[in-house]
A = this chain, B = another copy of it.
């Protein structure tokens, strides 16, 4: 795993970051008198942020691009456990243990802020507020896994619909009208996330298009009827 130093960073990448009041990294760097050691870097498409079994040395905030976390089963299948998009925190569950339980790989060129785990742990000792913020983010990770477990018990249509609805919510788009979604993952990756065959995902997409719920061409997709999509879940 390599993080090429980016050219002429400020002492902390957080000081002039537009999201510094909402970001975990900035909260970490807010230690009076010392830097949390947050660094920013870019990860090439296909490169790993970490692998299963790696010693945990950082957690990551995604600034741009997209990545996926996954495990490989004994049977050799890639089981995707999540996609991380801009502003997501990646690898938070690593806080609960010393080694990573998933692999993480950039699915497009990705900018990340790296938060050294030692600094995170230290700050957690100093500040109950920081600690509780972190626990609450961990809670969202539990919610996400529970949600995935629930989705596994739904039909293919429901899985895809729920996925699209979630993507739409992430974009916080206008209340009404069509939404333009960028789906950075391949159909196959989406299928591996939803636990479906990629052919099935493809068929669901065409079905939704025949119902005038959406229009899609490759990575780009227009949501025409959000309420119909919501009703399908």
Contact = CB atoms under 8 A, between A and B. Distances in A.
Contact of A101 (B71, B95, B146, B195): B146
Contact of A142 (B73, B101, B136, B152): B101
| Dominant SS among interface residues on chain A | helix
A79 B139 contact: no
B125 A71 contact: no
A165 interface: no
Nearest to A93: B142
A97 interface: yes
State how many copies of this chain the complex holds.
Answer: 2
A149 B96 contact: no
Residue of A124, A135, A142 with highest tally of chain B CB at under 10 A: A142
Contacts of A195: 152-153
A118 interface: no
9 contacts: A73-B150, A79-B153, A93-B142, A95-B135, A96-B135, A101-B142, A121-B128, A125-B128, A125-B131
Interface of A: 71, 73, 77, 79, 81, 93, 95-97, 101-102, 121, 124-125, 128, 131, 135-136, 138-139, 141-143, 145-146, 148-150, 152-153, 195
